[in-house]
Structure 1
């Protein structure tokens, strides 16, 4: 499950985020925007850790909750299928210029190195109440802003505690991208021909 709490592109969200921060006595972030906690709250309510009240619910109620009105199983919310970890990813782009979709599709941007920093949090560290969860999310993005500030100043992400970051270079396979692009082009052309054939047959 992937979540983008920023809610949009940085160049569109930065000014709004900073106005919100100033109004609510929060730090004004430069390299990221303040996150929105609504989607994370829904995820935590659905597949987050069970609270004490939920744990005391009868087995029959739990079984009913796993089915919709058509008696079709939609999710298994037992412990094994709940979120246990949150993987926090921070991305640093060359010269602070992010990769855009048109650059990737058209290949108009020269080859560059994009840096990704990973941090792993056990779900037990995330508060379950709305206010605590929102503050936890704010704290992570404030840390991200400081990390990116240091990266763009020194070229490296900061290390924390006794667990230094281990850098690993991942090279993209140009042949793989070529095959994927050819597949998408061919599938789009095939769908176009099918629609044309259906259109001429029906009308």
Structure 2
């Protein structure tokens, strides 16, 4: 890609938590969540498609983080259950049925079956804007497409998630958050849009059963005969103290600079 050999793997991370980011948020490795009305979702998906070709691929990003539920669980559960009843799907208690639009866009643009799918809505625009001078920005043979899907499920003590105030202000006592993950080859995901949606629904139905088992027994269930391996991860208080000190100092410096600029103007 862009004249250099890429050896690292690209990973799509799908996450289910009790509360989600909303709309489309972009950072160095791309966080995606789409929600809101249909028109807003369509605009968000087109922005995601453009972002993949303008930034994600050219900059050689390795991870794409996707929140396919796209909203707070307590707001989404009732809507999800009505949708499930209407479409003869299981009613989920611990998660909501995911929105598949963002995942479809990602798999169409950088998935393993992108050449066979041919369903991109912006092929002409990409040819004009992103593929100038005959530079091939995506080579599926060199590992530049999504190769793995990391499926992450998060469980909180007593089903109470960490809210923003808990994280920023430290009001809540220290607790253990359980993170369960599974790795799927991206080639397992069907290229057909309806089959892809079914595949994603199946993962969330599994998540709901896993969380039900966790909140009943305190442990995630093993899959098949594979034993469940647990590894505690402890936070480094010294590291967080240094990070907070850095942000406080940088904020103070920025405040002084703004004050100096303001005094020069006035």
Taking structure 1 as the reference length, the TM-score comes to 0.87
The 3 A distance-change label for structure 1 pair 81 and 51 is closer
2:146 aligned counterpart, secondary structure: coil
Q: 1:77 matched to which residue of 2? A: 138
Moved more, 22-31 or 85-94: 22-31
The partner residue of 2:108 within 45, 58, 67 is 45
Contact 1:66–1:77 under 8 Å retained in 2: no
Contact 2:151–2:182 under 8 Å retained in 1: yes
Contact 2:153–2:207 under 8 Å retained in 1: yes
Contact 2:113–2:187 under 8 Å retained in 1: no
Structure 1 unpaired stretches of 5+: 56-60
Contact 1:66–1:76 under 8 Å retained in 2: no
Query: Per chain length, whose mean CA-contact separation is higher, i.e. which structure has more relative contact order (CA < 8 Å, sep 6+)?
Result: 2
The partner residue of 1:68 within 109, 130, 137 is 130
- Moved runs in structure 1, 4+ residues, more than 3 A? 50-55, 64-67, 69-73
The partner residue of 2:213 within 146, 150, 153 is 150
The partner residue of 2:158 within 74, 95, 104 is 95
Larger relative strand fraction: 2
Q: Which whole-Å deviations, capped at 9, do the CAs of 1:160-200 have from their partners, x for residues lacking one? A: 11211101111111111112222222222222322332233
Q: 1:2 matched to which residue of 2? A: 65
Contact 2:108–2:114 under 8 Å retained in 1: no
Give the number of aligned pairs: 195
Q: In 2, Cα distance between the equivalents of 1:87 and 1:77?
A: 22
1:2 aligned counterpart, secondary structure: strand
Moved more, 9-18 or 137-146: 9-18
The 3 A distance-change label for structure 1 pair 54 and 31 is closer
Q: 2:45 matched to which residue of 1? A: none
Q: In 2, Cα distance between the equivalents of 1:180 and 1:66?
A: 43
The 3 A distance-change label for structure 1 pair 197 and 24 is farther
Whether 1:196 aligns to 2:259 is yes
The 3 A distance-change label for structure 1 pair 76 and 112 is same
Whether 1:29 aligns to 2:116 is no
Indicate the RMSD between aligned Cα atoms, in angstroms.
2.5
Taking structure 2 as the reference length, the TM-score comes to 0.67
